[in-house]
Structure 1
Amino acid sequence: MSDTDGKKPLGLGGGRPGQVKQSFSHGRTKSVVVETKRKRVVVPKPGAAKTTGTSNPALGDPSKRPAGITDAEMERRLKALQAAKHREAEEAIQRAADEKAREEERERRRAEIEAKEREDREREEALRLKAEEDQRKAREAELRAQKKEEVRKPAAAAAAPVDPAAAEAAESRAATKGVTVGAPRKTDRERDGRGAATDRDARAKAKTTEDARRTGRLSLNDALQGGEGGRQRSMAAMKRKQEKARQKAMGFGQKAEKQVRDVQLPEVIVVSELANRMAERAADVVKSLMKMGMMVSINESIDADTAELIIEEFGHKAVRVSDADVEQVIDTVKDKDEDRLPRPPIVTIMGHVDHGKTSLLDAIRKTSVVSGEAGGITQHIGAYQVTTESGAVLTFLDTPGHAAFTSMRSRGAQVTDIVVLVVAADDQVMPQTVEAIAHAKAANVPMIVAINKIDKYEANPQKVRTDLLQHSVVVEAMSGDVLDVEVSAKTGLGLDKLLEAISLQAEILDLRANPERSASGAVIEAKLDVGRGPVATVLVQNGTLKRGDIFVVGEQWGKVRALINDQGERIEEAGPSVPVEVLGLNGTPEAGDVLNVVDTEAQAREIADYRIKAAKDKRAAAGAATTLEQLMAKAKADKSVAELPILVKADVQGSAEAIVQAMEKIGNDEVRVRVLHSGVGAITETDIGLAEASGAPVIGFNVRANAPARASANQKGVEIRYYSVIYDLVDDIKAAASGLLKNEVREHFIGYAAIKEVFKVSGVGKVAGCLVTEGVARRSAGVRLLRDNVVIHEGTLKTLKRFKDEVKEVISGQECGMAFENYDDIRNGDVIEIFEREEIVRKL
């Protein structure tokens, strides 16, 4: 293999020599001589060529081919093989060219990145050098200024006048020694010269050390040599001196004048907050309190009187404020007459249940709301806006007529401008009609009487007008001042006259509001909607409510995320007298709360927190305002009264409120219904847990339990009852509460028997021989033993016999034997009273 040993290279006969480079581990290589074998060419014999005839010599020996392969097929295969080899060679060349181009592109990119990085480094270096140069120039300028200042100081000291007393003393000393002062001796001059030179050297050395100290470059030798001449100023002292000089030059040296502040002081304040309002250090405030004998920390609260003393001690002025002052940010400015523009009237439809209030409103709106209400009665306050054919815009409120919805009708009357009292012509003035009249009078709003169902055969509108006279409502037909219109919600008769009467009344009232001020309005209804969160139906009364406004409503606050009108469309703003659904509250407000727009979120949160605290304090005060005797009496009363606890969840706040009020009216001295919790929204696991702990059913009004709550109720055995009509709910709760009442027991006297003789029977005891003197003696009845008309014993009979036979009853005039159960003290002449008890089930 190698030619180093002088031997002949290894090879195959007839081959061409070549070299191959071998690679080994650790980077070693070796060249090896190899031989390339030539391809063997088979030349056909002359005789074979003749035998094959037209066969091509290049196609090889036909006898060695597979069976069935002709010369043409063999030639086609050879051509295909050559074309494939040619194609592979071209592809290899193309791949090599592509690889080379990619490598060149990578090299170019690498070079660009390196050039960019180098350029960035150079730029950063240049910026750093420039910054260092600027700092060095600033230091040099500062040193030059300091040196000039020091040069001026010695010059001023040299120019100072010589003390005359010291000069006279020197002259007197020279006179006593016989030496002329003006002509010192040579030795003195030499000494003085050497001393002066020494002083100059010392001053130069000290100046050098001083300069080195100022610049911050002080070597160890300079510091040690400087320390030999006496005490030197430290670096910290030099820096303090420079800082003072700089502040004096900039005018900071003078002590700032103390600023007197007006500190707002609530009833209770935290120490840290007090220090913050005074702009004083909290540690100083704590120190002052400790001097007063109060050991408090910065996180503790102090009362207003103590805080006022601290404020005066620090030289400030205390301004007492109340917690209620947070509500002063609500805009209560009176509007100017020129800013007030006409607004649509707010009309409330009121009346007795099933007198056609909602049907009348449907006819005006040309919609159908009644079909959507459970049981065909209105259970929510609906707010709608209607545009009449004449172009007038009216806002209608539809209130429930059922007795349970008193508070809803009251709210409707409070926010309204005109009340339309609906009375059925085929009926009479009913309790809720009277109640609606009272609400309208209390709210001091004008009333229009709509006599509905005029199309019915039995309609008698004159009777309605006469009945209204009993309640001080005198209509125009009876020479009064109350408008009355006969209408039919079914046929549409008289609707145009009703709308005309409403427009006329609104024109007389001249209703105006300022749409440019901060919005305020009343919450008509509130609910917790799945997916949308708390939703409040608000009737805007003043200003314009816009999307994005921050508001506070009752104990809740929020930011208007969306406004939805009565048609279900999203709007950007709502002006006066426009009812809208408001989304974006942090909780469900109470129906009847007032909505006010404020400037900032902090103000809204502060007002809501104050109202929550005030409500808690009010509830606590109401609970604490009882004496021990009252608590004991209440405990005794509670023991004697049976309670039916329930949990109420409703779809809207108004319905929950109406149900709670209806439940409070159910019961008597023995039984009452106790609402443990009422809320808005779906029934949750928390409600089920509370119901289980109290043994109470859960009442769902137009709401359902979610899946986890249903599973929990099944597991814990809590009953969930669903209702959509308030009639059914009240009736069922009444029936359930009636079940807690004790049955009434009544006694019926059925007979008397006189004891004639007493016998003693073995195994039985004493048996009374009796004569039934009145009525009937029954075995199953109760008996009393009377002695001189005094009840001695009351119980039951153990046996009732006629002769020797046990019988069920013995009639008057017959004799019988009686024995009492567990009682033997019977005597001749006693009377037995026989009676029966009857239990009567009581209802509320």
Structure 2
Amino acid sequence: MSDTDGKKPLGLRGARPGQVKQSFSHGRTKSVVVETKRKRVVVPKAGAGAKSAGAGSGKAGAPAGDPSRRPAGITDAEMERRLKALQAAKAREEDEAIAREAEERRREEERQRRREEIEAKEREEREREDALRAKAEEEEREKREAEEGRQRAAEPASEPAPADPAATAPVSERAQARPAPRKADRERQADREGRGGKARDDGGRRSGKLTLKEALAGDGGRQRSMAAMKRKQERARQKALGQSAPREKVVRDVQVPETIVVSELANRMAERVADVVKALMKNGLMVTQNQSIDADTAELIVEEFGHHVVRVSDSDVEQVIDTVEDRAEDLKPRPPIITIMGHVDHGKTSLLDAIRQTSVASGEAGGITQHIGAYQVKSESGAVLTFLDTPGHAAFTSMRARGANVTDIVVLVVAADDSVMPQTIEAINHAKAAGVPMIVAINKCDKPDADPNKVRTELLQHEVVVEAMSGDVQDVEVSATTGMGLDQLLESIALQSEILELKANPDRAAMGAVIEAKLDVGRGPVATVLVQYGTLRRGDIFVVGEQWGKVRALINDQGERVEEAGPSVPVEVLGLNGTPEAGDVLNVVETEAQAREIADYRHQAAKDKRAAAGAATTLEQLMAKAKADETVAELPVVLKADVQGSAEAIVQALEKVGNEEVRVRVLHYGVGAITESDIGLAEASGAPVLGFNVRANAPARNSANQKGVEIRYYSVIYDLVDDIKAAASGLLSAEVREHFIGYATIKEVFKVSGGVGKVAGCLVTEGVARRSAGVRLLRDDVVIHEGTLKTLKRFKDEVKEVISGQECGMAFENYEDIRPGDVIEIFEREEVERTLS
């Protein structure tokens, strides 16, 4: 029976037919039609990517429809239309998957039926062969017994034998009744049958003694061990007793995500990895245990091993992060988190230095804070306070917003001699948006021109009513220089924290916010984390944004190593696999596998979101983008900074530089030293490399010298933005201004031979006519031509200029439609260099 008689050959979707020749025992062969499956190209599902992107972005704190994260030209309606299209595509894919599953089930049933037919046929052939072999052995035995009987009859009878009832029995009964030979008899019989080799029983087991000579001679290869013979006898005994039923297979529910590693799939099925790889190879996939396969292929393998498939979404990996509600009895008091905010140079860091009795401000470049600092202070009353110091410069808007979102109390610092300024108003708005109470610290009250009442009055315009104005916002007059009012400020903070009754559960898995992140030489990625819930301990495995890690060390604000950090404690965390984004949330998980899986999912979700937002789906958008790129001049730059917050602030400041004619394009920005890859990118794009508080390593410096790439170092954000603004101003086209210098009226038109053409006889009525100037031809006060003069003559001489009241001859370049009565307007152009404001 052929395997292809009127039946569809075995196979899978997208397979190629072929023939394989199978070999069986006793020299039998058979050709079987098989199919090989093409390797499937895994393409991320657009619908699932967009949906999970929205879920992932929610964890990172950025809404899916945030206009600031969306490219120009994409409206909310356009984004909604794209998401609907992605959802429709996903629905279609689900319908196709259901249809594929039904088709696979039908094919599996067909394969099972054909497999049973082949097994039945092979079973019949084995039974027929066993019957023929048994018949041949019976005939051989009967022939041998008949030969032995003839030999005994031919022997002379030396003496009559005694009557033996067994002798009259049939040959088969006599053989059964014959006593078993002794060991010595068995050895003699083996020695007679073949000297130099040991006799073997029917099971292939060696019998008799084994000498060193026989072992070295090797009499037939591998021998069966005694344990193997015992196992064979036990199987035979169970078969005889009817106990050969196979053990029942344990069927498991196997969770299959969008992609899974082969070894992990084998682990979830509790099967050998080699068996899973072999099954994949049978299906045409040549993969190793460390490679990934898609969900459809994994589902096929799981069903082939007899398990149940449970399809899960990629976003389910984040469910391992605990979101339990803390019980009231588990909550314990925690220190308050106070953020100091205000305008630049109003004395925020100096005030914090006076409270901490340190000198942080002197170490900042240019005397301005460019990072978020986190510190703990113990007051005279024994209360522990956590302070966050934020920058006041306009470029650090996102840092101030981040500080306000993780704080309990905002201390608004306003200089008494400068009053309310733009960043003061911005800080007020951040505090109101975060919904946290505010304490106003009126600083620099020791100066002669200080006017605290002016500050209180101007705060009224922004709906901040202090207690001195019969409001509910505390205000304290302080001086960071003399220390005036610092005790009263700490008392006000302690009073406000008592009103808030701040509590947290220190015995749960830790969760915190990344205040700042940087790439430190020698220590690797370092994140400044403010723990909000639970206790972060050394050795904890965590995931933070798109990165994960294991806590290698915890360093407090004094630079000391600690074993753990509780709620409201700021620490530097070492042990990350990459630099996270400032503002990311840190969550402690149980295993490294979970952390890695969550980080990979968030990275892919962010990548899919950027791809979905940046894809131009209409021809109009493509044309508009191409037109904008042609008309706008770009200044490309590559930026490296010391910390993530500074890089983010500089990029935001540079994006604001420019106008409709020129803009700054940040090709790449990152944290850490300037490397050779940064130089290579800058060379390919013709861009300078900007280093903010970082330097280029030796290979990068050598590469920059060879390739002619400019590296500029900065430590103050003012200088960097001003330099880039000046460089971008050089890309602006110069402004052309026109100065009218005269008018002339055409009195007569002459035609001159010799290739000159028409010449206008003119009278200069106003100003002066110059040969180098531009001219316009006016007819009935309408401009009909603009160009340059081909000739300017006074009588027969070529002249440079003709003054008012004199007559002259004019001819226009490539234009001869001139008539008497036309007016010629004469002007000069002046180019004026432009700068970006």
Give TM-score scaled by structure 1 length.
0.70
Q: 1-side partners of 2:697 and 2:588: how far apart? A: 35
Q: Which residue of structure 1 aligns with residue 761 of structure 2?
A: 769
Whether the 8 Å contact between 1:660 and 1:675 is mirrored in structure 2 is yes
1:802 aligned to which of 794, 802, 806? 794
Q: Which residue of structure 1 aligns with residue 690 of structure 2?
A: 699
Could you give the per-residue CA deviations for residues 249-268 of structure 1, whole angstroms, max 9, x where no partner exists? 89995532222322223234
Determine if the alignment matches structure 1 residue 644 to structure 2 residue 635. Answer: yes
1:832 aligned to which of 789, 812, 824? 824
Determine if the alignment matches structure 1 residue 816 to structure 2 residue 797. Answer: no
Whether the 8 Å contact between 1:399 and 1:409 is mirrored in structure 2 is yes
Q: 2-side partners of 1:193 and 1:575: how far apart? A: 97
CA 1:532–1:298 in structure 2 vs 1: closer, same or farther (change >3 Å)?
A: closer
CA 1:564–1:241 in structure 2 vs 1: closer, same or farther (change >3 Å)?
A: closer
Determine if the alignment matches structure 1 residue 378 to structure 2 residue 369. Answer: yes
Q: Which residue of structure 2 aligns with residue 537 of structure 1?
A: 528
Determine if the alignment matches structure 1 residue 425 to structure 2 residue 416. Answer: yes
Q: Which residue of structure 2 aligns with residue 560 of structure 1?
A: 551
Whether the 8 Å contact between 2:281 and 2:287 is mirrored in structure 1 is no
Once the 2 structures are TM-superposed, how far is the Cα of residue 517 of structure 1 from its aligned partner? Answer: 2.7
CA 1:525–1:273 in structure 2 vs 1: closer, same or farther (change >3 Å)?
A: closer
2:833 aligned to which of 832, 837, 841? 841
2:560 aligned to which of 551, 569, 573? 569
Q: Which residue of structure 2 aligns with residue 55 of structure 1?
A: none
Once the 2 structures are TM-superposed, how far is the Cα of residue 502 of structure 1 from its aligned partner? Answer: 0.3
Once the 2 structures are TM-superposed, how far is the Cα of residue 238 of structure 1 from its aligned partner? Answer: 12
Q: 2-side partners of 1:510 and 1:602: how far apart? A: 38
Once the 2 structures are TM-superposed, how far is the Cα of residue 523 of structure 1 from its aligned partner? Answer: 1.1
1:341 aligned to which of 332, 344, 348? 332
Q: 2-side partners of 1:195 and 1:408: how far apart? A: 113
Determine if the alignment matches structure 1 residue 686 to structure 2 residue 677. Answer: yes
Q: Which residue of structure 2 aligns with residue 394 of structure 1?
A: 385
Determine if the alignment matches structure 1 residue 502 to structure 2 residue 490. Answer: no
Once the 2 structures are TM-superposed, how far is the Cα of residue 244 of structure 1 from its aligned partner? Answer: 4.0
CA 1:821–1:446 in structure 2 vs 1: closer, same or farther (change >3 Å)?
A: same
2:752 aligned to which of 760, 767, 777? 760
Once the 2 structures are TM-superposed, how far is the Cα of residue 631 of structure 1 from its aligned partner? Answer: 1.8
- What secondary structure is seen at the aligned counterpart in 2 of 1:592? coil
**Which residue identity is paired with 2:193?**
N
**Which residue identity is paired with 2:365?**
A
After TM superposition, the structure 1 = structure 2 runs for residues 478-517 of structure 1, keeping only pairs within 5 Å, are 478-517=469-508
Once the 2 structures are TM-superposed, how far is the Cα of residue 742 of structure 1 from its aligned partner? Answer: 1.5
Q: 2-side partners of 1:267 and 1:556: how far apart? A: 21
Q: Which residue of structure 2 aligns with residue 780 of structure 1?
A: 772
- What secondary structure is seen at the aligned counterpart in 2 of 1:794? strand
Q: 2-side partners of 1:784 and 1:347: how far apart? A: 70
2:434 aligned to which of 443, 447, 455? 443
Q: 1-side partners of 2:808 and 2:482: how far apart? A: 81
Whether the 8 Å contact between 2:166 and 2:174 is mirrored in structure 1 is no
Once the 2 structures are TM-superposed, how far is the Cα of residue 316 of structure 1 from its aligned partner? Answer: 3.8
- What secondary structure is seen at the aligned counterpart in 1 of 2:578? coil
CA 1:764–1:488 in structure 2 vs 1: closer, same or farther (change >3 Å)?
A: same
Determine if the alignment matches structure 1 residue 221 to structure 2 residue 193. Answer: yes
Once the 2 structures are TM-superposed, how far is the Cα of residue 600 of structure 1 from its aligned partner? Answer: 2.7
Once the 2 structures are TM-superposed, how far is the Cα of residue 441 of structure 1 from its aligned partner? Answer: 1.4
Could you give the per-residue CA deviations for residues 320-340 of structure 1, whole angstroms, max 9, x where no partner exists? 433223233333333333332
- What secondary structure is seen at the aligned counterpart in 1 of 2:667? strand
Q: 2-side partners of 1:451 and 1:686: how far apart? A: 48
Could you give the per-residue CA deviations for residues 281-305 of structure 1, whole angstroms, max 9, x where no partner exists? 78988999999xx865666977657
5+ residue gaps, structure 2, are 1-159, 206-222
Once the 2 structures are TM-superposed, how far is the Cα of residue 823 of structure 1 from its aligned partner? Answer: 5.3
After TM superposition, the structure 1 = structure 2 runs for residues 290-305 of structure 1, keeping only pairs within 5 Å, are none
Q: 2-side partners of 1:517 and 1:211: how far apart? A: 79
Once the 2 structures are TM-superposed, how far is the Cα of residue 220 of structure 1 from its aligned partner? Answer: 7.5
Once the 2 structures are TM-superposed, how far is the Cα of residue 211 of structure 1 from its aligned partner? Answer: 11
Could you give the per-residue CA deviations for residues 653-697 of structure 1, whole angstroms, max 9, x where no partner exists? 000000111111122222111100000111111111100000111
Once the 2 structures are TM-superposed, how far is the Cα of residue 508 of structure 1 from its aligned partner? Answer: 1.2
Q: 2-side partners of 1:735 and 1:840: how far apart? A: 15
**Which residue identity is paired with 1:485?**
V
Once the 2 structures are TM-superposed, how far is the Cα of residue 426 of structure 1 from its aligned partner? Answer: 1.6
Q: Which residue of structure 1 aligns with residue 231 of structure 2?
A: 243
Q: Which residue of structure 2 aligns with residue 366 of structure 1?
A: 357
Q: 1-side partners of 2:386 and 2:728: how far apart? A: 42
- What secondary structure is seen at the aligned counterpart in 1 of 2:727? helix
Alignment length (residue pairs): 653
CA 1:360–1:675 in structure 2 vs 1: closer, same or farther (change >3 Å)?
A: same
Determine if the alignment matches structure 1 residue 666 to structure 2 residue 657. Answer: yes
Q: 2-side partners of 1:564 and 1:814: how far apart? A: 89
CA 1:778–1:485 in structure 2 vs 1: closer, same or farther (change >3 Å)?
A: same
CA 1:200–1:645 in structure 2 vs 1: closer, same or farther (change >3 Å)?
A: same
Once the 2 structures are TM-superposed, how far is the Cα of residue 652 of structure 1 from its aligned partner? Answer: 0.6
CA 1:212–1:248 in structure 2 vs 1: closer, same or farther (change >3 Å)?
A: farther
Range with greater deviation from structure 2 (465-474 or 238-247): 238-247
CA 1:195–1:238 in structure 2 vs 1: closer, same or farther (change >3 Å)?
A: farther
Q: Which residue of structure 2 aligns with residue 107 of structure 1?
A: none
Q: 2-side partners of 1:318 and 1:826: how far apart? A: 89
Q: 1-side partners of 2:424 and 2:430: how far apart? A: 10
CA 1:216–1:585 in structure 2 vs 1: closer, same or farther (change >3 Å)?
A: farther
Once the 2 structures are TM-superposed, how far is the Cα of residue 341 of structure 1 from its aligned partner? Answer: 2.1
After TM superposition, the structure 1 = structure 2 runs for residues 266-345 of structure 1, keeping only pairs within 5 Å, are 266-269=257-260, 273-280=264-271, 316-345=307-336
Q: Alpha carbon RMSD of aligned pairs, Å?
A: 3.8
**Which residue identity is paired with 1:528?**
L
Q: 2-side partners of 1:549 and 1:212: how far apart? A: 75
**Which residue identity is paired with 1:243?**
R
CA 1:193–1:329 in structure 2 vs 1: closer, same or farther (change >3 Å)?
A: closer
CA 1:802–1:310 in structure 2 vs 1: closer, same or farther (change >3 Å)?
A: closer
Q: 1-side partners of 2:624 and 2:555: how far apart? A: 52
**Which residue identity is paired with 2:809?**
G
Q: 1-side partners of 2:262 and 2:185: how far apart? A: 50
Range with greater deviation from structure 2 (598-607 or 350-359): 598-607
Q: 1-side partners of 2:551 and 2:763: how far apart? A: 91
Q: 2-side partners of 1:789 and 1:629: how far apart? A: 40
Could you give the per-residue CA deviations for residues 773-825 of structure 1, whole angstroms, max 9, x where no partner exists? 22221232111334555555433234434345554432222112334446566
Whether the 8 Å contact between 2:341 and 2:400 is mirrored in structure 1 is yes
5+ residue gaps, structure 1, are 1-186
Whether the 8 Å contact between 2:506 and 2:566 is mirrored in structure 1 is yes
Determine if the alignment matches structure 1 residue 551 to structure 2 residue 539. Answer: no
Q: Which residue of structure 1 aligns with residue 594 of structure 2?
A: 603
Whether the 8 Å contact between 1:209 and 1:218 is mirrored in structure 2 is no
Q: 2-side partners of 1:544 and 1:614: how far apart? A: 29
**Which residue identity is paired with 1:736?**
A
- What secondary structure is seen at the aligned counterpart in 2 of 1:842? coil
Q: 2-side partners of 1:706 and 1:725: how far apart? A: 21
Whether the 8 Å contact between 1:529 and 1:535 is mirrored in structure 2 is yes
Could you give the per-residue CA deviations for residues 485-510 of structure 1, whole angstroms, max 9, x where no partner exists? 11111211111110000011111111
Q: 2-side partners of 1:621 and 1:321: how far apart? A: 23
- What secondary structure is seen at the aligned counterpart in 1 of 2:835? coil
Determine if the alignment matches structure 1 residue 742 to structure 2 residue 733. Answer: yes
**Which residue identity is paired with 2:411?**
V
Q: 1-side partners of 2:713 and 2:445: how far apart? A: 37
